[in-house]
Structure 1
């Protein structure tokens, strides 16, 4: 049997590669930074090549490190799950799920009790950091993403179709100069999510406003903060109908009765081979089944 490097060295490498920090990885593994660095160096000596580009205060995987991470990180995760299942005395299935905060709070978490009742053995590790699709197989098993379309090399199932709403503070429609005409957007700040960068352009074209520009465009990477900013009167948010309906915030109103199909949808995304993993398959089937039965998720 071919000799393998120590498991501790492999674990140290994966943590540093995922976190991009020796200090953070050392904290995660309850090691000192020098001890963790020695483990990584031992692995590099075993392999016979460097796995990281070491800069002044940062450490990032090089091409060899990325290739090794893609191959061994999923195996290490499966080993961890197997040990956890054996030591707990019951089968524990763990899904590492990437999901945007607004979808999680509005549409997923209100239904997690139903998921737990159906599959008590299934546990979710929730990751709300960005760029989830890019991290599939490297810490994430599956992602609920907001996108126009999905890379055909990945498995993607569209979860919804939506309309773009212009959402603003209720007081904008009150007072001596209420906002009632789309042309008045020229005096307002548009709030746009970075993952939905074309919502304003799509709405503007559908509304027949040509090249009209708002007073400014402020970009967010958080849906909840966008809604709060709109409620505070800091601008008008270009978001989905479902975001507005699920928020149920009396401070907010939909501005302008103009129907515009959104270029974006929520998708369930994973690598094709991940569907063979039981946690991914159980969650996928539960999610799709809920949608087919008309249960809003």
Structure 2
């Protein structure tokens, strides 16, 4: 039986790193190659497979459709090979990921699914950080983070995890008192609960109701979505939050005030430094998160 030819592995590594990092310059720096040497390796791979994997223009490399298809076909097998080598290694060690995450996302979306990740990658362990300024600490005290943002800072690898609507969430008792139609005079007498991470959501909600000048009796600020929902359930105010929060909390005491849906300025994002994708713990979590679609 004839032995199949293996592709040039260094060329394959150059290709995969260029795709993952999204930049030929970043890939050449990571591999310690000159840009021309990186280009030659990828050229060797293109010759081997007989396909144009990248277009080249003005020192930039853009993945072609065939290149994308090749990456999607090859990458899972490379990950499987890495896992196989890991399983046979005498130097088994834990893989440690320092992940920043907001408590609400962690409790309602991430933790219910982490068992799947542990089953798939038993060596991967995660240190959870729910402290402030998660995005600013990525690449320093954090390997990666799941943030709530209008859009992550440039220079970060970012994947948008959802699209949300903003709702005013209140106790059913308070909703009954306010009635089915928005009344600016009644709303002006209420306390509104605003999350520190969502300061512009209230403005979006007011604009949708054509009540830009609404000035409530008080605005209380929270850094915990879970506590905001409990406060709303206890009748302490009207929480301006995402529909996702109400749906996942499944608290029968709460309701969506007026049934108004407003597009949120904010979404959940996964962020890390582009070079962090070459670190196995980050890559494993990143790929699982994308597939899991939490």
**Residue 130 (structure 2) aligns with:** 128
Residue 198 of structure 1: how far off its partner (Å): 0.4
The CA deviation string for residues 10-47 of structure 1, in whole angstroms up to 9 with x for no partner, is: xxxxxxxxxxxxxxxxxxxxxxxxxxxxxxxxxxxxxx
Q: Retained in 1: the 8 A contact 2:160–2:269? A: yes
Q: Retained in 1: the 8 A contact 2:203–2:212? A: no
User: Superposed, which structure 2 residues align to 1:163-178 within 5 Å?
Assistant: 163-174=165-176, 177-178=177-178
**Residue 206 (structure 2) aligns with:** 204
User: Superposed, which structure 2 residues align to 1:2-151 within 5 Å?
Assistant: 90-151=92-153
1:289 to 278, 288, 291: 291
- Structure 1 position 219 matched with structure 2 position 221: yes
**Residue 251 (structure 1) aligns with:** 253
**Residue 156 (structure 2) aligns with:** 154
Residue 173 of structure 1: how far off its partner (Å): 2.9
Q: Retained in 1: the 8 A contact 2:102–2:130? A: yes
Q: Secondary structure at the match of 2:146?
A: strand
**Residue 260 (structure 1) aligns with:** 262
Which whole-Å CA distance do the structure 1 matches of 2:278 and 2:92 have between them?
Answer: 21
TM-score normalised according to structure 2 size = 0.67
**Residue 228 (structure 1) aligns with:** 230
Which whole-Å CA distance do the structure 2 matches of 1:230 and 1:252 have between them?
Answer: 7
**Residue 181 (structure 2) aligns with:** 181
Which whole-Å CA distance do the structure 2 matches of 1:178 and 1:187 have between them?
Answer: 10
The CA deviation string for residues 141-161 of structure 1, in whole angstroms up to 9 with x for no partner, is: 000000001111111110000
Which whole-Å CA distance do the structure 1 matches of 2:214 and 2:196 have between them?
Answer: 20
The CA deviation string for residues 194-241 of structure 1, in whole angstroms up to 9 with x for no partner, is: 110001000100111131111111111111111111011110000000
Gaps of 5+ in 1: 1-87, 292-296
Task: Report which of the two structures shows the higher radius of gyration computed on alpha carbons.
Answer: 2
Which whole-Å CA distance do the structure 2 matches of 1:154 and 1:89 have between them?
Answer: 32
Q: Secondary structure at the match of 1:196?
A: coil
TM-score normalised according to structure 1 size = 0.66
Gaps of 5+ in 2: 1-89
Q: Secondary structure at the match of 1:256?
A: helix
Residue 89 of structure 1: how far off its partner (Å): 5.9
The CA deviation string for residues 137-189 of structure 1, in whole angstroms up to 9 with x for no partner, is: 22210000000011111111100000001100111133xx4443322321211
Which whole-Å CA distance do the structure 1 matches of 2:198 and 2:93 have between them?
Answer: 39
Which whole-Å CA distance do the structure 2 matches of 1:178 and 1:128 have between them?
Answer: 35
Which whole-Å CA distance do the structure 2 matches of 1:110 and 1:94 have between them?
Answer: 20
Which whole-Å CA distance do the structure 1 matches of 2:261 and 2:245 have between them?
Answer: 15
